[in-house]
Structure 1
Amino acid sequence: MGRLIVVSNRVPPPEDKRASAGGLAVALQAALRERGGLWLGWSGETAASEADSERVKTRVEGNITFSLVDLTQRDIEEYYSGFANRALWPLLHYRLDLADFDRRDTSGYFRVNALFARILAAEVKPDDEIWVQDYHLIPLAAELRARGITNKIGFFLHIPWPPPDVFSAMPWHRRLLETFTAYDLVGFQIDYDAENFINCMVREGIGRETSRGTFRAGEREFRIAAFPIGIETDEFAKMAVEARETSLVHRMEESLENRKLIIGVDRLDYSKGIDQRMLAYERYLDNNPSSMGKVVYLQITPKSRSEVPEYADMQREIAETAGRINGAFSDLDWTPIRYINRTIRRTTLAGLYRMSDVGLVTPLRDGMNLVAKEYVAAQDPENPGVLVLSRFAGAARELDGAVLVNPYDLESTAGAIAGAISMPLDERISRWRGMFDRLRQYHVNNWCDTFLETLEKPLNVPAFGSQQPPLRKAS
């Protein structure tokens, strides 16, 4: 078995700066350490010229080589800020109203993928397997094939995939779809996304599904499957127990003065439904006047993509919503919403999850949403909190103990908050136990191993069955 090569938009920081690394980075590095390998991606730095962007900076940690590429300002504006985040991101999250389809940005997106392919093609050995991560790098396999690379190449999309009527709104949708045929395995978070993708391919006449999970396009045949990503469950649970002893968590607990705590943790993004969530909480306060002064909602929302105008506008709107609600409901000794606009260490978050009575995870659309899984993992088995979860998060297909809501329905979400706050202990334990057991069974390492095992198997060998976790039925 050859090396594993991982390609992603960004590369993890060095070990000494990675104290708060998430489960995905940990799992991928574990797979890389097992086989030896290479991780290629953008350094996050700006190259002075196009010639400088061809120069690769390397960092070696054990048997893993991290190869970092600087991008020019033009590349960053067109590939990253432009096509990836102003066209693909809103499109794949069903937000056509926010999508900006610019021909120059599209050219930049394919140009940077070609750059990554040129750099990688010079490093690939015959037995290497390549695993491409996420929407920034969809055309990478096609670019590698054009350079004569015949190795196994897999792709995993961490965000949703929309139905044909949404995806086909992008002027270059067919060109992008055709690049997927260069992969040997295309993975999605949930079966709904895989089905949407297959429907897009069939609608465009690019190919057909020859058997469950196998697709033929011209002379190429490849697999399409769902691989729901997990977290490092036991490790995160232990982290949550230990974090309860940190000074910041202690301060938070003392400041609550025995009030109930609702927590929301999201990167600043319109897909997360933060504004709608605050409005639902406002509706909860209106409908439950006896809760005044007894419940606090903590919303932690680090800034994101500040260079994109839509995000700056959204940050202002959410802050105004929080301010208006606090102005209307606050008392001298109580503020209903605590809104924090900065990054909190993952270890501290684990402690805050554990002390919270309700985890409010209500994205308008999400590929999976690992906050939901982390919230469950962090709970006290003898006194767990309640997860209120959007039915439009991929995690809703697995976490059957959550209280599912439609985040667009403020009244029902407010009712779900009320029900979660007052839920009896025995029901809370029952709901939590099933979810926690599932998270332990489908650890993030299981996700990583299952994907790579499927990539390695010949197409005529069944690759699913017991490895593919059963998903909850739609409700």
Structure 2
Amino acid sequence: MSRLVVVSNRIADPRKPAAGGLAVALGETLKKTGGLWFGWSGKTVPDGMPGEGKLNVHTAGTVTLAELDLAEEDVDAYYRGYSNGVLWPVFHYRLDLAHLESGYLSGYRRVNRLFARKLAPLLREDDLIWIHDYHLIPLAAELRAMGCANRIGFFLHIPLPPQQILAAIPSHEWLMRALFAYDLVGFQSEADLLNFSHYVQAEATAEPVGVSQFRAFNSTVQAGTFPIGIDVDEFRRLGQAREARDTYDTTCKEYSRRRLLIGVDRLDYSKGLPQRIRAFGELLREYPENRHSATLLQVASPSREDVDAYVDIQHELESLCGAINGNYGDLDWMPVRYIHRIIARRRLPGLYRACDVALVTPLRDGMNLVAKEFVVAQDESDPGVLVLSRFAGAAEQLKDALLVNPYDIPGTAQAIQRALQMPLEERRARHAALLENICRYDVHWWCRQFLETLAEIR
């Protein structure tokens, strides 16, 4: 079996339970193959020169972790500037928030070149290389320029927008041409794959040479859909642990007279949080029977608080929650409980299980694993209902959720009302169908499917 080499913006020790989704997904294969995980350490080198970095290599069991410290100027350009100031908003369809004239592209290219230069000496001839996400789109092209002939795959965890939006990025041709240095490019959804197909044929005059296979720039790339899942067994074990059970008991006791709705999100403009709060306010206005009955628990974890767009949405969210609580709240009932901090992952299964409805309503999302975690956490004999945005990648798989357009505030309120009124038999049927899909296409299926496809490409 070839050694797996994973490259991502940030890395984590796969032995640690709180290492995160990517570590859970890839840890098993990394351990089996004695793999290498390469990425930015999250640290900066004091007085470091741009294009230079300090590499720290250490082991975590059978896995080698290679962490690169970056110069502060490189972090500003590559990470804050181009990755999160240009690619993130554009890929989430928010051209109005993208800093398209920022000049960060040279720093983005410089750091990808540095990654390649530091990674190349660590590679073996038969390594299988898997590069992750928008931070590292040009990395394979940089490795190829250095003579790397390994099989290299790329997976985009966020959405890929349509041709007309991508084309707004200065140097978009260079960016998308870089994808042809990969053997396999993976997307979360069929919509993303279709956008890629349209773009490369219209902008790069790529020629289809097979099923989702395209040839341009004297290279052929295979593209495919690989929707990421969760580790179902691990999340179930988490739900049986003491902290999750205590959270469930405490929440049920605290809200014994309420119907609970929950939203758990990173505070980001892509998550549709203001629209969700407005829809809940519309629910209370149009369906007054929910007053003194329904409570929305909205967790919005802090995110990039030094960026104006995130500060603006935080203030908007606080204002909306305050207005609803002021208009409808009473001495013994607060309609919205807004929590602007991180809730420990080990508590989430208990919190999900205590709630009647989950609101997962992003304006645009690559997948959204909260939707899948909520379903797994439910009591199968009396499950809650998932209200899911049609613009989340998860909507292609989870068709038995109540799918909504988050921009349609009255329509979302109607769906929430339907979820609160749904008969037990329908709730059980929908939940069973959702759970079957989530268990079949879990995170291990995702990892195995991508790597087997990559290994089979000639």
* TM-score normalised by length of structure 1: 0.93
Aligned to 1:107: 106
Aligned amino acid, residue 37 of structure 1: G
> 5 Å matches for 1:184-195?
184-195=183-194
Post-superposition offset of 1:244: 6.9
Post-superposition offset of 1:255: 1.4
Post-superposition offset of 1:246: 4.1
Residues paired across the two proteins, number = 457
User: 5+ residue gaps in structure 1?
Assistant: 460-475
Post-superposition offset of 1:53: 4.5
Post-superposition offset of 1:199: 1.0
Tell me the distance in 2 between the aligned counterparts of 1:295 and 1:173. 47
**What SS does structure 2 have at the residue aligned with 1:46?**
strand
Tell me the distance in 1 between the aligned counterparts of 2:329 and 2:247. 23
Aligned to 2:17: 19
Change (3 A) 1:238 1:422: farther
Aligned amino acid, residue 64 of structure 2: T
- Whether the 8 Å contact between 1:244 and 1:250 is mirrored in structure 2 is no
- RMSD across aligned positions (CA): 1.5
- Whether the 8 Å contact between 1:52 and 1:70 is mirrored in structure 2 is no
Aligned to 1:119: 118
- Whether the 8 Å contact between 2:297 and 2:338 is mirrored in structure 1 is yes
> Is 1:455–2:454 an aligned residue pair?
yes
Aligned amino acid, residue 271 of structure 1: S
- Whether the 8 Å contact between 1:27 and 1:445 is mirrored in structure 2 is yes
Change (3 A) 1:243 1:292: farther
> 5 Å matches for 1:225-304?
225-242=224-241, 246-304=245-303
- Whether the 8 Å contact between 1:47 and 1:53 is mirrored in structure 2 is no
**What SS does structure 2 have at the residue aligned with 1:57?**
strand
Aligned to 1:411: 410
Post-superposition offset of 1:308: 1.8
Aligned to 1:473: none
Aligned to 2:41: 43
Change (3 A) 1:51 1:422: closer
> 5 Å matches for 1:422-433?
422-433=421-432
- Whether the 8 Å contact between 1:300 and 1:339 is mirrored in structure 2 is yes
Post-superposition offset of 1:24: 2.8
Aligned to 1:400: 399
Tell me the distance in 2 between the aligned counterparts of 1:295 and 1:242. 28
Aligned to 1:463: none
Deviations, residues 78-106 of structure 1 (Å, cap 9, x unaligned) = 11111111110010111111111135311
Aligned to 2:196: 197
Aligned amino acid, residue 6 of structure 2: V
User: 5+ residue gaps in structure 2?
Assistant: none
Post-superposition offset of 1:224: 0.3
Tell me the distance in 2 between the aligned counterparts of 1:39 and 1:91. 28
> Is 1:30–2:17 an aligned residue pair?
no
**What SS does structure 2 have at the residue aligned with 1:252?**
helix
Aligned amino acid, residue 72 of structure 1: A
Aligned amino acid, residue 190 of structure 2: D
* TM-score normalised by length of structure 2: 0.97
Tell me the distance in 2 between the aligned counterparts of 1:244 and 1:263. 19
Change (3 A) 1:339 1:13: farther
Deviations, residues 32-79 of structure 1 (Å, cap 9, x unaligned) = 111111111111111111289532112311110111111111111111
Change (3 A) 1:53 1:343: farther
- Whether the 8 Å contact between 1:4 and 1:130 is mirrored in structure 2 is yes
> 5 Å matches for 1:270-419?
270-419=269-418
Aligned to 1:84: 83
> Is 1:445–2:444 an aligned residue pair?
yes
Deviations, residues 230-276 of structure 1 (Å, cap 9, x unaligned) = 11113213322435754444332221123111000000100000010
Tell me the distance in 2 between the aligned counterparts of 1:268 and 1:103. 24
- Whether the 8 Å contact between 2:7 and 2:37 is mirrored in structure 1 is yes
